[in-house]
Amino acid sequence: MTTATEPTWRRLSPTVRILVTARAVNRLGAFTLPFLAVVLTVELGATVGQAGLVLTLFGLATIPSRVLGGQLADRLGRKLTIVVGLVGCAVAQLWIAAAGSLTSATLAVLLLGLVFEIYEPPSQAIIADVTAPADRPAAYGLLGAAMAAAAVAAGLLAAWFGQWDLRWLFVVDAATCLACATLIAVALPSRKNQRTDGGTGAVWQDRRLPLMVALGTVFAVIYLQITLGLPLTLLKRELPTASIGFVLATSAVTLVVGQPLLRTLRKIDDFRIMSIGYLLLAVGLLANGFATTLPLFLAAAVVWSVGDLLLLGRAYTIVAAIAPEDARGRYLAAYGISWGIAGAIAPVAGSQLLAHLGPTGLWTTCAITSVVLAGLQPLLQRRLSSLDTRLPNRAGTTISRPARGS
């Protein structure tokens, strides 16, 4: 039996540990997307405009991919859906590697987009299925930390494999997808799904979900500036391009080392933790706007990463709590659409703010928005409660609809 004083990793069920390990293996090979435009232009003769259209097509295709993943997770089962999604990604990656024309590559990229997010909703649903409500933030946080750490290692692998034919990057990525699928198929226990009624449209009748998606989209737009706006900020500060690697590595290390903090805070309700997380995120992002040296950017990364650590998985914990057990896949898939929407908004918003207001204006805007999100958390908690929901509170207890007249 585990106790509250044991490390987070040991507290979690073997199912979660298998899932985290498998997803880290998969993320280790997911270094191909930044090189996709290069392959399209250099090796297949696409213009920059054509490559941009193909990448836009990929981004749009990932939205129905996540919805499909939620449907399949609730209907076919979590485990089978993850395997199907990963095998589909491997097939698409190998197709890209073997493509001999721009048309063939475009079709392969479209397929990749349609299967790219299938495994996300069932992965998130499995964590909710096998984890107590009080431990879900730690479980989701550990998954995020493992993915972040694997992403840093993936960058090093990309630099090594990139010395040769870039198409080999897609072959390696396909191999990690198949390795992840094999681990899931062999080691992950199967779980019988309950009967599910209704499609994706039915979950949107729950008025709590659009509220979560709206706030999640705002957060995702802010967060994506770290990968989209931060590299440009470093360049404007005349720092070497390698600096972004050091910043992201510092963030990943912070997420991993900070895991015990989640155990310490597990008895505090999610909304209060999210308020603190948003405030820390705001401080770190604001520091990005005024930093001029690499040490200052690294210090800022530690602060906004601690904020990210507190936020990581909290929203998924709340969505999993409001969802009926047999519809968790669809609820989590619907919430995940917020990242697809943000993916379309963030590049335009970030580039425009950077062009007109400079780095200070970009990160100040992000920081102010994060402070607003912090202030909205108590209101969100009351609003969700008023809609007759049950949410995890201190030590895994629940809050329910207030009594009339109270």
Distance from C-alpha of 149 to C-alpha of 249, rounded to nearest angstrom:
8
Average pLDDT value for residue range 289-307: 95
pLDDT at 9: 57
Distance from C-alpha of 397 to C-alpha of 52, rounded to nearest angstrom:
48
Least reliable range by pLDDT among 154-168, 186-200, 386-400: 386-400
Give the model's confidence band at 196: pLDDT under 50 very low, under 70 low, under 90 confident, else very high. Answer: low
Of residues 262 and 175, which shows the higher confidence score?
A: 175
Cβ within 8 Å of residue 129, ≥6 positions away: 78, 191, 325, 328
pLDDT at 289: 94
pLDDT at 5: 38
Please say if the pLDDT value at position 260 is more than 70: yes
Phi, psi values for residue 398, rounded to 5°: -130, 155
pLDDT at 2: 42
- pLDDT tens for residues 17-70? 888 888 787 777 666 766 787 788 878 888 877 887 887 788 788 889 988 999
Give the model's confidence band at 393: pLDDT under 50 very low, under 70 low, under 90 confident, else very high. Answer: very low
pLDDT at 298: 95
pLDDT at 363: 96
pLDDT at 347: 80
Q: What percent of the chain has pLDDT over 70?
A: 85
Please say if the pLDDT value at position 7 is more than 80: no
pLDDT at 29: 62
Domains and CATH numbers, the chain: 11-189 (1.20.1250.20), 199-406 (1.20.1250.20)
Cβ within 8 Å of residue 279, ≥6 positions away: 307, 370, 371, 374
Rounded to the nearest integer, the mean pLDDT of the chain is 82
Please say if the pLDDT value at position 404 is more than 60: no
pLDDT at 374: 96
Give the model's confidence band at 163: pLDDT under 50 very low, under 70 low, under 90 confident, else very high. Answer: low
Average pLDDT value for residue range 369-389: 87
- pLDDT tens for residues 340-375? 888 778 888 888 898 889 999 999 999 999 999 999
- pLDDT tens for residues 315-334? 888 998 888 888 888 898 88
Q: How many CB atoms lie within 10 A of CB 218?
A: 17
Contact indicator for 133, 78 with CB cutoff of 8 Å: no
Please say if the pLDDT value at position 250 is more than 60: yes
- pLDDT tens for residues 100-137? 899 999 999 999 989 988 988 998 889 888 888 878 88
